[in-house]
Amino acid sequence: MLRKERLRLILKEINLHNKVLSGDLSEKLSVSEDTIRRDLHELAEEGVILKVHGGAVSKAFNYPFDGDNKVYALKAKQQIAEKAIRLFKNDMSILMEGGTTIIEIAKMIPPNLRATFFTVSPQVALTLAEHENIEVISIGGKLGRNANIHTGASVINELAGIRVDLCIMGANGISMKDGLTDSDWEIVQVIKAMLRSAKKTAVVSIAEKLSTVQKIKICEFGFINYLITELPPGNARLSPYKSSQLVKL
Amino acid sequence: MLRKERLRLILKEINLHNKVLSGDLSEKLSVSEDTIRRDLHELAEEGVILKVHGGAVSKAFNYPFDGDNKVYALKAKQQIAEKAIRLFKNDMSILMEGGTTIIEIAKMIPPNLRATFFTVSPQVALTLAEHENIEVISIGGKLGRNANIHTGASVINELAGIRVDLCIMGANGISMKDGLTDSDWEIVQVIKAMLRSAKKTAVVSIAEKLSTVQKIKICEFGFINYLITELPPGNARLSPYKSSQLVKL
DNA sequence: CTAAAATATGCAATTTCATGCAATAGTTTT
DNA sequence: AAAACTATTGCATGAAATTGCATATTTTAG
């Protein structure tokens, strides 16, 4: 059998079943596993499959959402993400909310970080799943209408049962006087539960949201350990925000 | 024999069988392998074939799909989706597994359908979320490494607590003799739990997977109410599949 | 942490390939 | 028709590709 022929069969098998094991292919195609590995390596180089320990998986299956969506204020959010990942250390457990900023953080996690992530956002879960060394646990529940966040009593329940080192959350309104606020009651309930589950909490937000207030209160600033914006920590617009334990990044 | 004539025969052979071996041709046409190689080289220069180590393959043979992130056998999966949504009625509760076929179903749900969907797949959840009138509930848990499906004890637990009208699932291996099979133990556990939670079960699969068997058994065909492929229900390839309650779509 | 599985890498045996060369066949020119 | 010339072919040789095995390393699972 020609090598090319074999490569094509492997590709077909992967597209058909979403994943293959080197051992199975070796048996089916009557070549050594070494050869299969070399084949998979080549297909992965071409970018048509995704090689994993033990075999390979279909790429289309793993990235069906690599879309065209433009993110508002992407650059600022990436700057925020760069700062946020400095808080991550090996073997931490980290709870992530949802939103475009937090997805940017998830994308930017260094590949060698070894940690456990909890999240209430399917998008964040999928983004996190692309990293080899991290374990992803979705807190499931009713998918909220407005934001793509799991909400409802089951989420609150599950969150009550976990304890993480760090919680990363966004906030729609940030002001020193009124604390963190949002406009969606369901989401506020979830965020409150997240706060209770975390030893430390970081709030990420583009500067544009500073000094804005939404209808529903999440918490006072006293509960927040880190405030991360795209501004340098010394910027005048951040000077109103201070509390005994607040660190600006 | 004229060289031109030989070239024509070689090309015909490749178009017929999608591949040729230099050795075979040498024997069949009574010329040395060197000559065959020179012939193949020339045809490859013209761009009509693809020369590979050991012989040549047809150009169309090279890659079965064109794009980057295209779904394999998309058209067939869309045909399946069209049939599957015929099972959906207002006010049903429906449990969906994951996979590219099921995502196509989720995309194709009619906008006016009013129903509750449960799913163990973040991607399916997000796809479902685009429909106004349906409620989406994620069954959360550890995100599996191979497929993007929530797995683990918590998923089994949660599934044990729900009862739905219909379960839509894929299967990697389908055969009348061995029933439904898959290759991932974690996923099989989840699917088994899904089966227990559903009053009726539909299996969707492209015809290519028929008569294939994977390592781990999910269940016999007797547990399945609907088998949905892209083939018409009367197709001969479906005739082996029959049980007292099985409906083919 | 430890043991088992999977992987990467170097190596050797085999097969296939490219190239130069000479012999032959076919074509053109004289 | 003979000479000159070009194209084709087979063979020899060294280069390159392919594959399986041995071994060291990495990854995974318990």
The amino acid at residue A126 is L
- Of chain A, the percentage scoring pLDDT greater than 90 comes to 64
- Is B6 within 7 A of strand D by CB distance? yes
Residue B171 C-alpha, separation from nearest chain A C-alpha, in angstroms: 9
Among the listed ranges A56-65, A68-77, B28-37, B67-76, which one has the minimum average pLDDT value?
Answer: A56-65
- Within 8 A by CB and 6+ apart from A121, the residues are A96, A97, A98, A99, A102, A103, A148, A149, A150
pLDDT at residue A68 is higher than 50? no
Mean pLDDT of A71-100: 91
Indicate the average pLDDT of chain A: 89
- Cβ <8 Å between B143 and A128: yes
A4-61 per-position pLDDT tens digit: 889 988 888 887 777 889 998 999 899 999 999 999 999 888 888 888 889 998 876 5
**What pLDDT score was predicted for residue B167?**
98
A152-203 per-position pLDDT tens digit: 999 999 999 999 999 999 988 999 999 999 999 999 999 999 999 999 999 9
Q: Which residue has the higher pLDDT, A11 or A66?
A: A11
State the DSSP code for B158. Answer: H
Indicate the average pLDDT of chain B: 90
Phi-psi region of A160 (alpha: psi -120 to 50; beta: other; left: phi over 0): alpha
Residue written as token pair 């041709």: B25
Helix B185-197, helix B153-160: angle, nearest 10: 10
Q: How far apart are CA A166 and CA A187, in angstroms?
A: 19
By DSSP bridging, strand B49-52 and strand B55-58 are antiparallel
State the DSSP code for A116. Answer: E
- Cβ <8 Å between B140 and A143: no
Q: Taking a C-beta distance cutoff of 8 angstroms, is the pair A75, A108 a contact?
A: no
Question: From residue A121, how far is each of A58, A126, A146, B205 by CA, in Å?
Answer: 23, 9, 12, 29
Task: Give the pLDDT band of residue B146 (cuts 50, 70, 90).
Answer: low
Neighbouring CB atoms inside 10 A of B1's CB total 9
Task: Give the pLDDT band of residue A67 (cuts 50, 70, 90).
Answer: very low
- Is B32 within 7 A of strand D by CB distance? yes
Strand partners for A57: A19, A50
Mean pLDDT of A230-245: 92
Facing B19 at nearest CB: one of A2, A24, A64: A2
B207-245 per-position pLDDT tens digit: 988 988 888 899 999 999 999 999 999 999 999 999 999
Rounded to 5 degrees, φ, ψ at A92 are -80, 160
